[in-house]
Structure formats: C-alpha cells, structure tokens
C-alpha cells in the first residue's frame, strides 16, 4: 500500500509536472499559433516520434515480458499517459487547426467577398471597357476602311488622269502629225503651184497713159513730175522724180507727221499750246489769224487741223518756228532714204521721189497718223485728185504758189494707190490733176470692174471755189 501511495504521489507529481509541461507547450503552441507551417511541422514530427516510441516500446515489451512486467506496466502507464497527453495535444492541435481553419475560412470569406466585389466591379466595368474597346476597334476598322477606300479612289483617279493625258497626248501628236502632214502637203502644193514672190515692176499701162497725157498737154521734164504705186500689186511708174521744184503747201504733211511723232514719243501732247508771234502771220486759207491775236497761245491740235484741212500758212509757221525752221527741215529728212540737196534744208523745195517716200511712211504707220489721214481726207474741199473721184476716199494734200500747182495722196479704191502730180506754169493745172487722178484709177481698175463713171463738175464752179494757197517760208 505504501508503494502504492508513493507511486500515487509520484504519479501525481509527474502528472502535475506533465500538466505544467503541457501548459507550457500549449502556451508555446498558442504563441506559435499564427505560424501555420511551424505548428504543422512540429506536430508531424511529434506524431512520428510517438509512433517510433510506440514501436520501440512494443519491441521492448515483447523482449522484457517475462523479466520486467512492472516496467512494462509502467511503460504502459507512461504510454497511456503519453497517449492521453498526445490526445490532449492532438485535441488542442485540432482545436487550433479548427480555429485556424475557421479563421482561414473567415479570411477566405472576406477575401472572397472582396474578390467578389472586385469581380462585380470588374464585371460591371467590363461591359463599359469592352464597349469602349469595341468602339475603338470599330473606329479603327472604319478608319482603315475609309483610308483604304480613299486610297483606292485616289489611285483610280490618278490612273484615269494618266490615261486621259496619254490619250490627249496621242491625240495632240496625231493632230500635230496631221497638221505637219497638211502643212507639208500645202507647202508642196504651194511650191509646185505658187510662183515666185511678186517683185516690183513698172506698170506699163500707167506709163502709156502718162505718155499720152504729156503729149496732149505739152508736158516734159521742165514742168511735170509724177509718181504712181499700186501697193497690193507692187506696180509703179515714175516720171522726172528726182528733179526739185517749189514745194508750196505740200511741205505741211511731213511737218505734221513730225509733230505726231513727238506726241507719240511723249515729248508733247495735243493739249499743249504754242504762242502766236508777229512774224508767224502769212496770208492764205484757215482761221488762225482771225481766231487768235499776236501774243495768244493756240493748242497744237488746233494748229495741226488748220494746217492740213484749210492749208493755214499761219498755223504752219507757228509749228515750224516753235521747233526752228532749220531744225524742222533736218528732222523731216528722216522720212526718206535718198540723198537730199542742200537747198532742201534752207528753202522750201522737194522732189517727187521725196514725197513718194513720205506717203509710204504715212501709209505703213496709218494707226499712228490716223488723225492726220482723216484731216487729209477733208483737205481741198473735194478738189484736185479728189474732184473726179467722189466715190473714193482720197487722203491728199495740195499746194499752189507762184505757178507751181501740186497734189499728192493715197487713193483707196479696189487696191490702194499712191499718186503724186506736180506741175509748173501749166494752165488749168488743178483740172489737169483731177483728170490724171481719174484716168489713173480707170486704167488700173477697168480690168476688174469696167469703166468708172465719173461725175465732173463745171469748170466755172471749180474756178469760183478754188482756193489760192502760197507758202515759201
């Protein structure tokens, strides 16, 4: 019994010690609660140790059954106690595991809730994002489609333009080749058909006509000077063209041309005025001396008109004295290529060839001298070359002084004719000039249109209306 008491006390103490150890271990295990991996490892190690000890104890028990039953009992009791401890430990571990699992489940639930919320947010945001992505994708698709379509359209337009340009180029080449072929054919035809360029030739019909007139009126180199030129047909005839005679008012045409040249060059204009001096006055036609007094200024346009239309000597003198007589004669020499004599520059003399060159220059520059030509058409009141040609325009200028009676100008008929008739001391010279003008036109145009019917006025009326003009500055 004593033994039993001792053993009981020992067991109680050992149980107490064991309980303390268990409590310590439990406290330690509680401390290590949050560390899952360490607890699990330690538990697995202890369980393995217990298994080993159990195996070892079984082996010992089998060996020491006959000898040490007590020991076996003690060992059994120890093993029972240890098993109890292990059970308690396992229970605590299971509790801890359950607590951990509960906590883990709670945490998992929390995490699941958060993830579910997130997933819900994501799910809610997914359609919007997906819509945006789809929209962007669709926009990209639309943009790419639009770009491809525009590129294709541009390429098609370029191809069409190139084709059209090639076709136009081919057409132009064809037209150019056709034109070249046509021009080549025309040139061949012109070479084969056309004759050589028309050269200036003597008009034998006019030559014969003037010869007849000279014999009828006893005209020769001493008293008769003549020129004729058909501009279109390039036929001419001259008689005594290089002899000089008193020019009278025929000089007024080149002087007027000189002023129109200066106006054209900007040196002066028609509105400019020139002073009327005492030594400018000269008797004759025109109204300058009556419209203005000495010391007054007259416009250049007025003076040029009076000089040609009314053959105003005073107007001519104002124009020439403004430039200087010598300087004026030197400048009007530019209208001819022939060499002029010294008397041309110092006195009022000229030749038929000089006036022929003046009319050529006037006709070739008709636009520049259009006002002058219109004034010449109004000159002489329908007398001289114009007298027997009422149906024609005749731009001419007559002159009469001290037995010299002249007229020269442009006759606009079927063709254009330059005609000049200059006489010295011939009776009825104005009628002779009118007759020559009439017969010259008849001679040239009878081949195409027959004889010209000419209405002549009575010589008495012509004599009554004749204007006597003299100038020899």
Give Dmax over CA atoms of the chain in angstroms: 211
- Given a cut of 60, whether residue 393 has pLDDT beyond it is yes
The reply to whether 316 and 402 lie within a common domain is yes
Looking at residue 70, its pLDDT comes to 53
Domain count, the chain: 2
Q: Is 220 helix (H, G, I), strand (E, B) or coil?
A: coil
Lowest mean pLDDT among 91-95, 328-332, 447-451: 447-451
- Close Cβ partners of 100 (under 8 Å, ≥ 6 residues apart): 33, 36
The tens digit of pLDDT for each residue in 346-385 reads 999 999 999 999 999 999 999 999 999 999 999 988 899 9
The residue with greater pLDDT, 184 or 23, is 23
The reply to whether 114 and 220 lie within a common domain is no
> Mean pLDDT for the chain?
78
Q: What is the DSSP letter of 403?
A: T
Residue 132 lies in a domain: no
Report d(CA 285, CA 309) in Å as an integer. 9
- Given a cut of 50, whether residue 453 has pLDDT beyond it is no
Looking at residue 66, its pLDDT comes to 47
Residue 470 lies in a domain: no
The tens digit of pLDDT for each residue in 218-232 reads 999 999 999 999 999
- Given a cut of 70, whether residue 460 has pLDDT beyond it is no
The residue among 470, 314, 316, 311 whose CA lies nearest residue 401 is 470
- Given a cut of 50, whether residue 464 has pLDDT beyond it is no
- pLDDT tier at 177 (50, 70, 90 boundaries)? low
Report, as an integer, the average pLDDT of 295-304: 97
Domain final position from 108, 124, 140:
124
The reply to whether 119 and 205 lie within a common domain is no
The reply to whether 311 and 425 lie within a common domain is yes
The tens digit of pLDDT for each residue in 6-64 reads 444 455 555 555 556 666 666 665 565 556 566 666 677 777 777 777 666 666 555 54
The residue with greater pLDDT, 73 or 192, is 73
- Given a cut of 70, whether residue 74 has pLDDT beyond it is no
Q: What percent of the chain has pLDDT over 90?
A: 50
Which phi and psi angles does 121 have, rounded to 5°?
Answer: -65, -45
Residue 152 lies in a domain: no
The reply to whether 104 and 214 lie within a common domain is no
Residue 146 lies in a domain: no
Judge whether 380 and 368 are in contact, CB under 8 Å: no
The reply to whether 337 and 457 lie within a common domain is yes
Which CATH number covers residue 419? Answer: 3.40.710.10
The reply to whether 118 and 240 lie within a common domain is no
Whole-number Cα distances in Å, 393 to 19, 20, 129, 320, 371: 161, 160, 99, 29, 15
The residue among 416, 449, 389 whose CA lies nearest residue 230 is 416
- Given a cut of 60, whether residue 406 has pLDDT beyond it is yes
The residue with greater pLDDT, 134 or 207, is 207
Domain final position from 124, 141, 163:
124
- Close Cβ partners of 282 (under 8 Å, ≥ 6 residues apart): 313, 314, 317, 471, 473
The reply to whether 312 and 425 lie within a common domain is yes
Cβ count near 220 (within 10 Å): 11
Report, as an integer, the average pLDDT of 66-92: 57
Question: Where is mean pLDDT largest: 97-101, 406-410, 445-449?
Answer: 406-410
- pLDDT tier at 473 (50, 70, 90 boundaries)? very low
Report d(CA 305, CA 378) in Å as an integer. 10
Centroid of chain to Cα 120? 69
Beta bridge partners of 448: none
User: Containing H/E element for 399?
Assistant: strand 393-401
The tens digit of pLDDT for each residue in 233-245 reads 999 999 999 999 9
Residue 145 lies in a domain: no
Residue 158 lies in a domain: no
* 0.75 exceeded by pTM: no
The reply to whether 260 and 347 lie within a common domain is yes
Residue 167 lies in a domain: no
The reply to whether 212 and 359 lie within a common domain is yes
Looking at residue 72, its pLDDT comes to 54
Q: Is 423 helix (H, G, I), strand (E, B) or coil?
A: strand
Judge whether 236 and 200 are in contact, CB under 8 Å: yes
Sign of the CA dihedral 398, 401, 406, 408?
A: negative
Looking at residue 465, its pLDDT comes to 39
Cβ count near 333 (within 10 Å): 15
The reply to whether 336 and 447 lie within a common domain is yes
Looking at residue 288, its pLDDT comes to 96
DSSP per position, 286-354: SSHHHH--TT-EEEHHHHHHHHHHS-BHHHHHHHHHHH-HHHHHHHHGGG--SPPPTHHHHSSEEEHHH
Detail the DSSP E strand segments found in 102-241: 201-202, 224-230, 235-239
Q: What is the DSSP letter of 417?
A: E
Report, as an integer, the average pLDDT of 374-399: 94
The tens digit of pLDDT for each residue in 200-220 reads 999 999 999 999 999 999 999
Looking at residue 467, its pLDDT comes to 36
Residue 401 lies in a domain: yes
Looking at residue 278, its pLDDT comes to 95
- pLDDT tier at 151 (50, 70, 90 boundaries)? confident
Looking at residue 367, its pLDDT comes to 96
Whole-number Cα distances in Å, 436 to 90, 211, 236, 389: 164, 11, 15, 11
Judge whether 293 and 276 are in contact, CB under 8 Å: yes
Domain final position from 74, 108, 124:
124
| Token digits of residue 257 | 């041309």
Query: CA geometry: angle at 420 spanning 233 and 450, to 5°?
Result: 50
The residue among 360, 83, 113 whose CA lies nearest residue 234 is 360
The residue among 205, 201, 322, 202 whose CA lies nearest residue 258 is 322
What residue numbers bound the domain in which 23 lies? 2-124
Lowest mean pLDDT among 110-114, 312-316, 416-420: 110-114
The residue among 235, 218, 239 whose CA lies nearest residue 227 is 239
The reply to whether 397 and 293 lie within a common domain is yes
Cβ count near 346 (within 10 Å): 11
- Close Cβ partners of 61 (under 8 Å, ≥ 6 residues apart): 72, 75, 76
Looking at residue 468, its pLDDT comes to 40
Q: What is the DSSP letter of 250?
A: G
């Amino acid at each position: 019994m004593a033994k039993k008491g001792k053993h009981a006390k020992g067991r109680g103490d050992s149980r107490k010690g064991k309980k303390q150890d268990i409590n310590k271990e439990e406290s330690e295990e509680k401390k290590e609660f949050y560390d899952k991996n360490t607890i699990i490892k330690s538990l697995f190690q202890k369980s393995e140790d217990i298994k080993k000890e159990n195996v070892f104890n079984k082996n010992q028990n089998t060996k020491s059954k006959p000898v040490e039953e007590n020991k076996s009992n003690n060992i059994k009791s120890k093993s029972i106690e240890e098993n109890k401890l292990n059970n308690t430990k396992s229970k605590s571990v299971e509790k801890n595991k359950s607590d951990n699992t509960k906590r883990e489940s709670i945490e998992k639930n929390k995490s699941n809730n958060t993830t579910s919320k997130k997933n819900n947010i994501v799910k809610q945001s997914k359609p919007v994002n997906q819509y945006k992505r789809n929209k962007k994708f669709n926009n990209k698709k639309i943009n790419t489609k639009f770009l491809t379509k525009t590129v294709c359209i541009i390429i098609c337009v370029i191809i069409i333009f190139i084709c059209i340009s090639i076709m136009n180029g081919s057409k132009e080449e064809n037209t150019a080749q056709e034109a070249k072929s046509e021009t080549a054919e025309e040139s061949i035809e012109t070479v084969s058909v056309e004759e050589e360029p028309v050269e200036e030739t003597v008009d034998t019909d006019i030559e014969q006509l003037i010869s007849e007139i000279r014999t009828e009126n006893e005209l020769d180199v001493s008293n008769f000077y003549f020129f004729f030129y058909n501009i279109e047909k390039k036929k001419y005839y001259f008689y005594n063209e290089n002899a000089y005679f008193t020019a009278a008012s025929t000089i007024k045409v080149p002087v007027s041309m000189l002023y129109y040249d200066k106006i054209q060059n900007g040196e002066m204009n028609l509105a400019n005025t020139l002073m009327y001096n005492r030594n400018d006055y000269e008797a004759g036609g025109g109204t300058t001396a009556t419209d203005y007094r000495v010391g007054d200024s007259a416009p250049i346009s007025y003076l040029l008109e009076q000089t040609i239309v009314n053959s105003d000597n005073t107007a001519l003198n104002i124009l020439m004295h403004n430039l200087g007589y010598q300087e004026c004669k030197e400048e009007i020499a530019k209208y001819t290529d022939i060499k002029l004599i010294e008397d041309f520059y110092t006195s009022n003399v000229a030749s038929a060839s000089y006036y022929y060159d003046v009319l050529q220059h006037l006709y070739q520059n008709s636009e520049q001298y259009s006002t002058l030509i219109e004034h010449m058409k109004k000159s002489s009141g329908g007398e001289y070359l114009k007298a027997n040609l009422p149906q024609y325009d005749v731009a001419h200028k007559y002159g009469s002084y001290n037995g010299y009676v002249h007229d020269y100008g442009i006759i606009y008929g079927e063709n254009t004719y330059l005609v000049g008739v200059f006489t010295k001391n011939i009776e009825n010279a104005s009628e002779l000039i009118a007759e020559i003008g009439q017969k010259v036109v008849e001679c040239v145009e009878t081949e195409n249109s027959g004889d010209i019917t000419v209405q002549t006025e009575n010589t008495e009326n012509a004599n009554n209306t004749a204007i006597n003009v003299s100038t020899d500055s």
